[in-house]
Structure 1
């Protein structure tokens, strides 16, 4: 739909209806919104192992809406098959590409997916793994768009994960090495979130 904002509700509805031919048409489009719709469709089919390589390719796309489509699609899949999505994000969170780790964090740190201590524990684990990916990124490349996107995601996702189960969450969060300047920024950013301020 035209306008400054992408119609994500329409895209999510499409994901439930699109057949494989339509998905291919969307992904091959020159229009960013259509490709985002295709990414949502693929993400929603994450239970199909054949989609994983394509999902990773979309998760590192230069267009942020397309990357976000992967996250939205996998969150939709998690509403019906949380275990599959948890397995994928745990694997992705340790991938050296910051955008893959970013997709993992952004996918799982969604409050509606963290309604049990076990689910919260996975989100905390994913945040921890992704934070390690960032600190393992050479300082010379930490200002790359990919590394900055991961840092930005971690700058709010930690607070979502911690709020879902505060006792173990705060233990993991407080263990972050704030002598690293990026982790110090991440800790400071999360501490500024109201959901975390209430706990602190």
Structure 2
């Protein structure tokens, strides 16, 4: 079944409240779970169906029900986990068209999922935020600015993962914001405000190890200045973050001289 036909089926079933159970069974069957890779195509198609100013109360209630499923009801790597995974992304699609009270709920659900114990739900949070940011970057920025002072490592990881989304980085102002927020996070790490050795820090570090290169590629002058700032630290964890980004092909191939300069600084 091609994607266009699948999308049409999703639309039909979403607009018929009596077919929501059938839709649920379809998603469960197409989830590819248990397994290493969920069906991202099916999730995206489902989410796309909510990019509309016509979403019935029944359809909204379905998203509320699914996105609120706790781990006990939708365990990791279980087909049932696919329902909240899809629903959260659909909320991201719907954000632009939703009334303010629903927009607030969508942001609250995304924030909660940033700290979810299930890694797929944390990914769903970042993907939902990317959908919001593509439509309204100011909403994304407002959310992050309101959270950042008290944000924990998992929330910080969600910030950088969401921002490392090329369609949102066509605007230079968005890139500079991503770099500024990343630098604030790195400053906290360098100052010892983030607890090393925890699983939450490992997850944050993994995110920073790739996301920074996405930002630096699009604003090399500011980006390499930031990497240079943290390259000279004696903190091995910080050096790992910088080194990993320098090793990404998007920087190593396009900006070989800048990469070599910072590598020399690290080895000095």
Residue aligning to 1:37: 86
* Alignment counterpart, residue 46 of structure 2, candidates 7, 14, 20: 14
Residue aligning to 2:63: 23
Q: Which runs of 5+ in 1 are unaligned?
A: none
Tell me, in whole angstroms, the C-alpha distance in 1 between the residues paired with 2:65 and 2:105. 18
Shift of residue 45 of structure 1? 4.9
Q: Which runs of 5+ in 2 are unaligned?
A: 1-29, 51-58, 75-79, 97-102, 259-268
Aligned: 1:108 with 2:148? no
Shift of residue 120 of structure 1? 1.0
Shift of residue 16 of structure 1? 3.7
Residue aligning to 1:156: 210
Name the CA shift for 1:186/1:72 in 2 (closer, same or farther; >3 Å): same
Aligned: 1:188 with 2:243? yes
Name the CA shift for 1:163/1:124 in 2 (closer, same or farther; >3 Å): same
Aligned: 1:66 with 2:121? yes
Q: Is the 8 A contact 1:40 1:69 kept in 2?
A: yes
Q: Is the 8 A contact 2:160 2:182 kept in 1?
A: yes
If asked which structure has higher relative contact order (CA below 8 Å, sep 6+), I would say 1
Matches within 5 A, 1:85-96: 85-96=140-151
Tell me, in whole angstroms, the C-alpha distance in 2 between the residues paired with 1:95 and 1:12. 31
In the superposition, the TM-score normalised over structure 2's length comes to: 0.67
Tell me, in whole angstroms, the C-alpha distance in 2 between the residues paired with 1:92 and 1:8. 28
Structure 1 residues 173-182 or 156-165, which shifts more? 173-182
Name the CA shift for 1:91/1:186 in 2 (closer, same or farther; >3 Å): farther
Q: Is the 8 A contact 2:213 2:248 kept in 1?
A: yes
Name the CA shift for 1:91/1:158 in 2 (closer, same or farther; >3 Å): farther
In the superposition, the TM-score normalised over structure 1's length comes to: 0.88
Shift of residue 63 of structure 1? 0.6
Structure showing greater radius of gyration is 2
Give SS of 2:135's match. coil
Give SS of 1:134's match. helix
Tell me the C-alpha RMSD between the 2 structures: 2.2
Q: Is the 8 A contact 1:95 1:101 kept in 2?
A: no
Structure 1 residues 158-167 or 6-15, which shifts more? 6-15
